[in-house]
């Protein structure tokens, strides 16, 4: 089992915490990146990490664990399995449309106690959209639990926010990036080919 203090070591061990020169989806550059799918492709490591979340809420009387697509699906399923409760998934509404919704026959009973889980918290948009999708169902959000909080602690949600680890990752514009200044190739996560500046 992974201890909280060892989560970042565990992410590094499975290759999810990477050092290098990365182009983030925001357009900014960074020297560290967490590739959640390097963790989520490893069932044993995912089970261990999800146990850290489940253990925090065993006495909280959770009825449903909810996660946003994509990584939150796996986390919600595994945390729900470990707690012995159902899991549900908030999917994007559609191409280019903001927000999330519950589909595929997912329903909630009024008053159900929900734990929202997600992988990497940066801007909080996936969690906010998931919470908004839950609002019409009149459930009680007990907490939001994430693997890694990269938001620098500036986000608040309904229910307490619990992060297994917090991580400040420096970012730069291409013009101020020290790696670009040295001429080092930048990698866009999700690809394997370095991109030109």
Structural domains of the chain, ranges and CATH numbers in brackets: 4-181 (3.40.50.2020)
Sign of the C-alpha dihedral, residues 67, 73, 162, 167? Answer: negative
Residues 6+ apart with CB under 8 A from 159: 116, 141, 142, 143, 144
Q: For position 5, what pLDDT does the model report?
A: 54
Confidence of residue 180 (pLDDT cuts 50, 70, 90): very high
pTM above 0.75, yes or no: yes
Cα distances from 173 to residues 5, 27, 94, 109, in angstroms, run: 31, 7, 30, 47
Output the six-digit token pair for 93: 């509404």
Q: Edge to edge, what strands does the sheet with 97-102 contain? A: 97-102, 86-94, 64-68, 113-121, 140-149, 160-166
Q: According to the per-residue pLDDT averaged within each range, which of 80-84, 152-156, 181-185 is highest?
A: 80-84
* For residues 114-139, average pLDDT: 93
């Amino acid at each position: 089992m992974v201890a909280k203090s060892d989560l970042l070591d565990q992410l590094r061990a499975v290759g999810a915490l990477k050092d290098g020169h990365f182009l983030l989806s925001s357009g900014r550059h960074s020297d560290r990146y967490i590739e959640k799918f390097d963790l989520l492709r490893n069932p044993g490591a995912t089970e261990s990490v999800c146990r850290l979340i489940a253990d925090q809420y065993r006495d909280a009387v959770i009825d449903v664990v909810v996660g946003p697509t994509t990584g939150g699906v796996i986390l919600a399923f595994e945390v729900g399995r470990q707690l012995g409760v159902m899991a549900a998934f908030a999917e994007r509404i559609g191409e280019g449309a903001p927000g999330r919704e519950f589909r595929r026959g997912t329903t909630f009973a009024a008053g159900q106690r929900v734990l929202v889980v997600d992988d990497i918290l940066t801007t909080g948009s996936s969690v906010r959209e998931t919470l908004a999708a839950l609002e019409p169902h009149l459930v009680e959000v007990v907490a939001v639990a994430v693997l890694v909080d990269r938001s620098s602690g500036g986000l608040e949600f309904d229910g307490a926010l619990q992060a297994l680890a917090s991580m400040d990752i420096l970012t730069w514009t291409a013009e101020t990036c020290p790696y670009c200044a040295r001429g080092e190739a930048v990698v866009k996560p999700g690809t394997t080919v370095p991109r030109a500046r």
